[in-house]
């Protein structure tokens, strides 16, 4: 692809071709991360396009911001896998790809000859990543895998929300995101294996397995300690203070993660004697006696506004932070120098986007292409796939 070659990234994955047969969030997030790191990503969409193109509002110039958030640096080609000509092009793309990413139901691509075994037979070096809801086993393969379902079935919702209230979902599709990250990790590990051996492999990721891992201390509490966690609102089961505490004009998150941080906290609050009180001197004591300690801290915090406390506490090494809205969160990231917003594209097609999360000292991420319109590069990609020469 002449234009693709001209705009290929220069990051750590430059020169790799990704056949992206995924849609919605987990797969597209993974392939966007790969694209940011220099890989050339061809996004294959069916006649109706990625589902998230219609997930509105909000929108930017009529396009779903959900879709825009996970599809930069890609080229779109519309292929109807039920059409023999389009299917032949899809198979050719799979044959040329270094990485193949899909999130169909397990086995869903077999009838098209795009399953791992068939693709690997023609392309033994391919790293083929499959993302599903509940794995490819006989009991999980047929279950639909939306993030909210996994938040419910994994137990996350049982530990999210007020102690006396209803279970709540997280405010973002957290297991889709974690699964996308796990997919990226799996692909990079398989690429390293391929570098050493020349052989590709099948990498499988499920939202539920990612949830089991991503629930970290909560799942460990049960599998290692026999304890079933429960909703505690904004409180932490193993730390105190580690929650919002009221100040004169609103709440401030304060997290004393160790005994030294707690000693600094109570010194700044003007009650240093609490650090030597046997009820509060160690973390396990503070956690056990949180109902006695909380009002003593709140009494002092209520004397000043939250941002005054924030500046003084952070200035003295006590972790804390205001509870921001999303716009305030972006502004805070800017304030601390993270430059969270990048502009992708030029002119009328320029799209503000959230910066790639990893900073490389030698091979930085790049922002080459705004999220594509459906089939935007279709003619170019079809011509390229129709060429006999296997060149990129």
In order of 9, 60, 195, 225, the CA distances from 3 in angstroms are 12, 26, 27, 56
- The mean per-residue pLDDT over the stretch 221-229 comes to 98
Residue 7 pLDDT class (50, 70, 90 cuts): low
Q: Are 99 and 39 in contact (CB under 8 A)?
A: yes
Task: Give the whole-angstrom CA distance, residue 120 versus residue 362.
Answer: 33
3-state secondary structure of 341: strand
Percent of the residues in the chain that have a pLDDT greater than 70, as a whole number: 96
In order of 256, 293, 332, the CA distances from 248 in angstroms are 20, 18, 22
Name residue 204's beta-bridge partners.
130
Residue 389 has pLDDT above 50, yes or no: no
Q: How far is CA 125 from the centre of its chain?
A: 27
pLDDT at residue 8, rounded to an integer: 59
Residue 391 has pLDDT above 70, yes or no: no
pLDDT digit string (tens) for 252-297?
999 999 999 999 999 999 999 999 999 999 999 999 999 999 999 9
Longest CA pairwise span in the chain (Å): 79
Angle CA(56)–CA(60)–CA(64) in degrees, nearest 5?
30
Q: Tell me the DSSP string of 170-221.
A: -SS-HHHHHHHHHHHHHHHHHHHHHHHHS--EEEEEEHHHHHHHHTHHHHHH
pTM for the structure as a whole = 0.94
- The mean per-residue pLDDT over the stretch 106-123 comes to 98
Residue 9 has pLDDT above 90, yes or no: no
pLDDT at residue 388, rounded to an integer: 63
Phi first, then psi: give them for residue 343, nearest 5 degrees: -100, 125
Task: Give the whole-angstrom CA distance, residue 383 versus residue 392.
Answer: 12
Name residue 242's beta-bridge partners.
255
pLDDT digit string (tens) for 350-380?
999 999 999 999 999 999 999 999 999 999 9
Residue 1 has pLDDT above 70, yes or no: no
Residue 348 pLDDT class (50, 70, 90 cuts): confident
Task: Give the whole-angstrom CA distance, residue 307 versus residue 312.
Answer: 9
Q: What is the 3-state secondary structure (H, E, C) of 234-290?
A: CCCCCCCCEEEEEECCEEEEEECCCHHHHHHHHHHHCCHHHHHCCCCCCHHHHHHCH
- The mean per-residue pLDDT over the stretch 227-244 comes to 96
Residue 10 has pLDDT above 90, yes or no: no
Task: Give the whole-angstrom CA distance, residue 139 versus residue 134.
Answer: 8
Residue 228 has pLDDT above 60, yes or no: yes
Residue 60 pLDDT class (50, 70, 90 cuts): very high
pLDDT digit string (tens) for 180-197?
999 999 999 999 999 999
Ordered structural domains, the chain, with CATH: 2-215+339-386 (3.40.50.10540), 242-335 (3.30.1540.10)
Active site residues: 176
Residue 46 pLDDT class (50, 70, 90 cuts): very high
pLDDT digit string (tens) for 120-168?
999 999 999 999 999 999 999 999 899 999 999 999 999 999 999 999 9
Task: Give the whole-angstrom CA distance, residue 68 versus residue 106.
Answer: 27
Phi first, then psi: give them for residue 240, nearest 5 degrees: -155, 135
Query: At which residue do the structure tokens 């209803």 appear?
Result: 166
pLDDT digit string (tens) for 238-251?
999 999 999 999 99
């Amino acid at each position: 692809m002449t234009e693709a070659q001209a705009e290929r990234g220069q990051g750590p994955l430059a020169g790799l071709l990704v056949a992206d047969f995924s849609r919605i969030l987990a797969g597209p997030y993974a392939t966007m991360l790969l694209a940011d790191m220099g890989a050339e990503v061809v996004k294959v969409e069916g006649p109706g396009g990625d589902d998230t193109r219609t997930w509105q509002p909000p929108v930017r110039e009529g396009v779903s911001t959900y879709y825009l958030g996970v599809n930069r640096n890609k080229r779109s080609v519309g292929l109807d896998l039920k059409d023999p000509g389009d299917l032949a092009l899809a198979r050719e793309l799979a044959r040329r790809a270094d990485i193949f990413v899909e999130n169909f139901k397990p086995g869903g691509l077999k009838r098209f000859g795009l399953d791992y075994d068939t693709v690997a037979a023609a392309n033994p070096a391919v790293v083929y990543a499959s993302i599903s809801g509940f794995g490819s086993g006989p009991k999980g393969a047929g279950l639909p895998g939306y993030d909210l379902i996994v938040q419910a079935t994994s137990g996350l919702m049982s530990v999210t929300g007020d102690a006396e209230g209803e279970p709540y979902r997280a405010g973002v599709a957290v297991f889709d995101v974690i699964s996308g990250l796990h997919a990226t990790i799996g692909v990079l590990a398989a690429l390293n294996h391929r570098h050493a051996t020349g052989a590709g492999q099948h990498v499988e990721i499920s939202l539920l397995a990612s949830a089991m891992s991503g629930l970290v201390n909560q799942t460990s509490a049960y599998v290692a300690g026999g304890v079933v966690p429960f909703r505690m609102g904004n409180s932490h089961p193993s730390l105190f203070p580690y929650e919002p505490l009221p100040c004169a004009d609103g709440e401030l998150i304060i997290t004393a993660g160790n005994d030294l941080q707690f000693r600094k906290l109570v010194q700044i609050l003007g009650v240093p004697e609490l650090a030597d009180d046997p009820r509060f001197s160690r973390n396990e004591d503070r956690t056990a006696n949180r109902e006695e300690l909380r009002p003593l801290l709140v009494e002092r915090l209520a004397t000043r506004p939250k941002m005054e406390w924030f500046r003084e506490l952070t200035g003295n090494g006590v972790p804390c932070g205001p509870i921001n809205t999303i716009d305030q969160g972006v502004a805070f990231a800017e304030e601390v120098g993270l430059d969270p917003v990048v502009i992708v594209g030029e002119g009328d097609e320029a799209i503000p986007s959230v910066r790639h999360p990893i900073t490389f000292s030698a091979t930085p991420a790049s922002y080459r292409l705004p999220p594509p319109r459906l089939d935007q590069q279709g003619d170019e990609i079809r011509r390229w796939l129709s060429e006999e020469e296997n060149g990129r």
